[in-house]
Every structure is written in C-alpha cells, then in structure tokens.
Structure 1
Amino acid sequence: MKNVRINLGRRSYRIAIGSGLLDRIGDMLAELPVGRKVLLVTNTTVGAIYAGRVTGSLAQAGLEVFQVAIPDGEQYKTLSSAELLYDRAFTAGLDRRSAVVALGGGVVGDLAGFVAATYMRGVPFVQVPTTLLAQVDSSVGGKVAVNHPRGKNIIGAFYQPALVVSDTAALDTLPRRELRSGLAEVIKYGIIGDASFFTWLEDNIHQVLALEPGALAHVIEQSCINKARVVEQDETEQGTRAILNLGHTVGHAIEALAGYGRYSHGEAVAMGTAVAIHLGMDLGMLSREAARRIKNLLHKAGLPTTVPPGLATRDIITAMYGDKKTVGGAITFIIPVDTGRAVIHRRTSEERIRQAIAAARAQ
C-alpha cells in the first residue's frame, strides 16, 4: 500500500493507494475519531458490485451502516439528491461524529461530500473512489458540490475528507470510456507542472489502458502528489490552485450545454484542453511542437480534441461567463506553455476565445 499525505494542518489526511483496500475500510475507519454510525453513499451501479464488501468490512469493525444509493449519472448530482441524503441521515439518527462514506466516482464523492459539509454544519467524510478520475482528482483536495442547470459545481464548499482510500482493483470493472475519461485529468498533471511525468505517460499510456497494476498505482500516486503540492499552497483556490482548471473553463460549458451525461467529464476536459492549446499558440506562448505532443498524448488515451459541431460558439462563451472561475466579468483560462508548465491567463478576450474554439473545431 502506498500513502500520499495532504498537509493542511488540522485538516491533514492521507490517501491510501493499493489493491484490495475495500476489504480493509472498516479497520481504517476505526482508526479515525468518528462515531459508531456510518452513512454509506453510493450509486446503483457501483453499489451492486462493491457495497456488500464495504458494508461487511465496516460492520466487522463494529460500525452500524446505513446505505443509500442514488441513480448513476452526472444529472443526479443535484440539490434534490442531497435532500434525499439529508433525510436518510436524519432518519438514521446520525450525529456530528457520524461519518459519511462516499463509495463511487466523482458524482458520488461530490454529492456525499457536499452533504457531509452541510449536515449539522459538518460531519466526518471519507472518500472511497472507484473510478480513475475520482482516484486521481475529484476525491483529493476538498472540493465538494452539486450542479445547477446553469452551471457545473456552482453550489458547493471546500471540505476536506478525513481519509481517501483508492483501491486500484476497483478499476478492473470500470468501463473503458470512464478509464479514458480519468486519463484526461492524469495528463493534465503532466501538462501543468510535471514534465517527467508527461514523458512517462507518453511512453507508458498503453500499459495504463491495459490496467497493468504497477502502471496504475504509479499514475494514481504521481497524480495525487502533484495535486497535493498545489492544494497545500492554495487550499481554497485564491490564486495558484486555479492552475488545476486546465481544460475545465470550456469543458464545464460543454458539459452543461450538451446536457450532463452526453460527454464524460474527461472528454469535455480534453476538448477544453484543445481550445487552451490553440489559445496558447495564438498568444505566442506555446510552440507547435509542444502542442503536437499534448494532442498526441490525448489521442493515445482515446480522448477527443475537437469541439462538438452542435454547440454554438456564442453559447459556449455565454456559459463560460456563468462559471465560478469567472471573476469580475472576466474569463480566466489556464494555458499550457510547454509540456510541464502552464500559466493562469486572466481577462482573456472573447475574440481570441472564438478563434481558439474555431481552430479546435477545424482539426
């Protein structure tokens, strides 16, 4: 088992990475200062496969488990779903020491974390991510939220988990599309600040796609280390943490406009990254060779790098103004300037954005 530490003072926690960890959840939770009752939040797909093992482990550790499953899909990450969880927690008699455990992907983690942050003004929260995207990104760093029809993750909080448990064996049942989706976030870490990791991905991406255990563990560990470095410097995204939003400015707009579920989060982020690449070249900040390498790696991972023709440019830009990354009416972009370095570009002009979107359509 590998461990990555997130150092945030009183809110510090560890990320446990390894195979077979679902069966050890109970022992890990027993080491935390939590109460006897646990609300296990999952979805109908993941719950059918793994909830029994997790519930059994928790019960063996002397914990009383109350399980609730939401339907599978981004469209269920809503206030209505949160209300369902509040009702279940209240009925079960959860108090301020009772833990909320999220078993599933990013949707389950974001929703359960939002409920944990707001139920009784905050109860202990444990992330048990079962998708690559959640294991390398959404389960780490304390961002929890639900969606609004006009924007993704608009209603939320910064609320750190007490523990993250990433079982690499859970990826064996992950659909290929979801595995590729997670690789968009993995590649992001190489682009924004880890040139050696980017090169490693160029050489080993096929091993990751083949679910080679050593390659998977390395990808998850390195991604978490890279995210930890950023989060420790800027926990609540007042400045440098914005660098983690590479591809998300346009990506979130695409997700909202297309309807949650049509494109996976990673697919939308890859499209957004393509726009950022063209914007970087237009601004003279990114060389054509570096742009080629980034696009090639996205292609190797099976990710799209073209903006869908059915989404109007004006609608994408309008949606971007409603994104939480827009400050003072100015759109912020994260622009790669090399393989291993990116910058935060504030007050990006609409005309340059239009040109970049047009270039990403024309590929």
Structure 2
Amino acid sequence: MITVTLPTKKYDVKIEMGLGRKIGETVKEVWSKRKVIVVTDEQVGDLYLHTTINELKKADFDVITATVPVGEKSKSLKFVGEIIETMADNGFTRGDGVIALGGGVVGDLSGTVASLYMRGIAFIQIATSLTAMVDSSVGGKTAVNLGKVKNIIGSFYQPDLVIIDPIFLNSLSERNLVEGYGEVVKCSALEGGDFFDLTGKINKVDDILSNAPDLIERSVNFKANVVMKDEKESNLRRILNFGHTLGHAIELLADGKLMHGEAVAIGMVTISQCFEKTGVTPASVTSAIQTRLESVGLPTSSNLIGTDAFFDHLKNDKKNDHGTLNLVALKNIGEPIIVPTKLTEMPEFVSGLTVK
C-alpha cells in the first residue's frame, strides 16, 4: 500500500492480487453507507460490473451504474452531463459517491463528474488497465476533451482511495496491456536506478504480466512522491509530462488509431531525438528508451510528427505558457529537466525527424 499525503488530502493506493474480489469491504473501510454510482465502459462492464455491484451491495451500499462506450470519445461534456443528470434523477447528495471502474478514460470522466456534482462529492478509482494503474488513477488530474482539444476541461480532484488488482490485467488484450507499459517506461526513465534496470529486463509481453506487481508499485511510488511535492504541477510535477507534449498532439491527429501509451512512446523517443540534436540528451539515453519500448512492440515513430496539423495542436497543449512550451528532456537516465521552448521554434526543433 502507498499513501499519498497532500496539504488538504490523504489517501491510500492499495495494490494487491485478488483485491477485485474484496471491493465492497475495501470501500467500506473509507466510506460510510451511501448511494454510489459506478461508472464504467461497455468492455470493462461486461467483465467486472456484475461482480462489483454485488460486492458493493453486500457492503450495504445503494448502487446505480452508468456505462459509456469504449474509447477516448467518451471523455466529453456530453457524457459528463448525462451521468450528472442520472445522479440528480436518483437523488444523489454531497454525502454520496462516484466510483470509476475502468481505465484512464473512465477514470478521467468519473473524476470530472465527481468534481462538478454539487461542487464536489467523494470519489474512488478502481483501475482495471495498466495505464490507469500506473498513471491516471493517482495524482488527482481529471479532465475531458472538447472537440479535438485533449484534456482541456478539468481540475485537480483527488480520490479517497485507489484500488489496484493486478489480476485485472489478465483480461486485457495484448495491445491494451502493452500501451500501458509505455507509461511504466516513462516513470523508470525519469527515476533511473533499479527501476530503469528492471524495465531493461522486460524483453517480451509476458514479462510485463509476470512482473506486474513490482512494475505497478514502483510506478505508483514514483508518481506519488512527485505529486506529494507538487500537487498542482507548478514545478516538479511537470517532469511527468515527458513524451506527452508531442504524444498528445499525434494521439489526437491519429483519431483513435493510436492509444495513449503508444502516442507517449512515440513522444518520448521523438523528444529525446530532438534534444540529441541540441546536445541536451545523449544518444545512449534515447537508444535505451527506444529498446525498452520496441522490445514489447510499442511504436517509436510516426509520420504525423512535423505536419502542419501537428504544430497546430501544440498551441492548445496545457504546457503552452504564452507561446512557450515547457518541454521535458533527459540529461541522463534519472535526470529530467524542463527546457522552455518557443512555439515558433518547434518546426526547426523537430525538423529532420519526420518519417517520410
């Protein structure tokens, strides 16, 4: 168990094999009897919603559900409004709660709903994807998209509890498992040391599953330590955006054909190649990251990089500070730095890296 302690909030991230079969009693440890809405998507719902409802009901919770389509398009104001309307119709008050059962999309959507309903009600994350387990369920970032602008509407809203059962990973497709591993490699490159050595031993997809508890705990521990030092991303937390500035742009341009972790993998390698040219990042660092990603089949390049639409998307990036992007570079493994770069300089910065 990892405890996240912030100035106005303290919560646990529980990581345990089989915890998915004890959801009711685990939630009851932090919440009193109340109404809860379990938000999930169609895919996760088919697998785990029935069991989750039964577990919560056995613990005396009054349960309703909301199921959204699979995919990034569910992170929208449309579904925020529909879920909030369902809660209002069922008489939810500030004393009730929202439970996210799913991956990153469901967690972001549910957190946004919880932060907005009656100006904020209790929220719990049950992470079922590797991306959610190692990244999006921890730290309190909640957001939805607007049109083709990613994560533009949201807030920092911390959960009361995060539940992680690595057994959930067994039901993921290979692609869904592997894309989450992109975020693991990111954390390991930022931390360095034994963690980066561990990802260097992951040579095939099966290695992700066999090392899942350790990979998850190390990733969560790293992120939690960063978040505890900088909850609202005013300084240190910016390093967690390594690979994300370029990754988010191509993720949106791919229009569903690239998953988040795949786009971040491309973003990490691309940004490192760019900083090789400026003498910030050694070629050995880029190569080490690229090898870890490609060993499990993650993409590391895209012909979307360098297009006019690509640069246009960078303007809407949350890290755009009056025309300057705060890019994350690695001076070495375990040594991230922030490099402010003007938007007008980005075409030259990425020149020569576009895949023809």
Length-normalised TM-score, structure 1: 0.94
Match of 2:249 among 247, 253, 263: 253
Separation (CA, whole Å) in 2 of partners of 1:83 and 1:357: 42
CA deviation after TM superposition for structure 1 residue 340, in Å: 1.8
Equivalent residue number for residue 145 of structure 1: 143
**What secondary structure sits across from 2:300 in the alignment?**
coil
Aligned residue type for 2:84: Y
Percent identity between the aligned chains?
Answer: 37
Tell whether 2:155 aligns with 1:157: yes
Q: CA deviation at 1:99?
A: 1.1
Equivalence for 2:266: 271
Match of 1:74 among 72, 75, 89: 72
Equivalences for residues 92-131 of structure 1 within 5 A: 92-131=90-129
Contact 1:101 1:125 in 2 (8 A): yes
Q: Which amino acid counterpart does residue 267 of structure 2 have in structure 1?
A: G
Kindly provide the CA deviation profile for residues 87-146 of structure 1, in whole angstroms up to 9, marking residues without a partner as x. 111112111111100000000000000000010111110000100000000000000010
- Deviations 1:167-188 (CA, angstroms, capped at 9, x unpaired): 1111001011111110110000
**2:302 is aligned with what amino acid?**
V
User: Is the 1:179–1:209 Cα contact (8 Å) retained in structure 2?
Assistant: no
Residue in structure 1 matching 2:287, options 276, 283, 292: 292
Q: Once the 2 structures are TM-superposed, how far is the Cα of residue 76 of structure 1 from its aligned partner?
A: 1.4
1:341 aligns with 335
Aligned match of 1:13? 11
Structure 1 residues 344 and 173, CA, compared in 2 at 3 Å: closer, same or farther? same
Task: Classify the secondary structure of the residue corresponding to 1:322.
Answer: coil
Contact kept in structure 1, 2:306 and 2:350, CA below 8 Å = no
The question of whether the paired residues in 1 share the 8 Å contact of 2:272 and 2:329 is answered with yes
Distance in 1 between residues matched to 2:227 and 2:203, nearest whole Å: 26
- Looking at structure 2, the residues matched to 125 and 357 of structure 1 have their Cα atoms a distance apart, in angstroms, of 44
Gaps of 5+ in 1: none
Q: Is the 8 A contact 1:105 1:131 kept in 2?
A: yes
CA distance in 2 between counterparts of 1:102 and 1:36 reads: 16
CA deviation map 1:258-283 (0-9, x unaligned): 22x21100111111112211122011
Aligned to 2:180: 182
Q: Give the Å deviation of 1:358.
A: 3.2
Residues in 2 aligned to 1:338 and 1:204: alpha-carbon distance in whole angstroms: 20
Equivalent position SS for 2:248: helix
Aligned-residue RMSD, C-alpha: 1.6
Distance in structure 1 (CA, Å) of the matches to 2:138 and 2:242: 16
1:350 Cα offset (Å): 4.0
Alignment of 1:179-218 (within 5 A): 179-206=177-204, 209=207, 211-212=209-210, 215-218=211-214
Are the counterparts in 1 of residues 265 and 299 from structure 2 also a CA contact under 8 Å?
yes
Q: 1:145 to 1:182 in 2, by over 3 A?
A: same
Q: CA deviation at 1:356?
A: 2.6
- TM-score, scaled to structure 2: 0.96
Give distance in 1, aligned partners of 2:129 and 2:351.
Answer: 29
2: CA distance between counterparts of 1:69 and 1:112? 11
- CA deviations on 1:180-201 (whole Å, 9 max, x unpaired) are 1101100001111233211111
Would you say how many aligned residue pairs link Structure 1 and Structure 2? 356
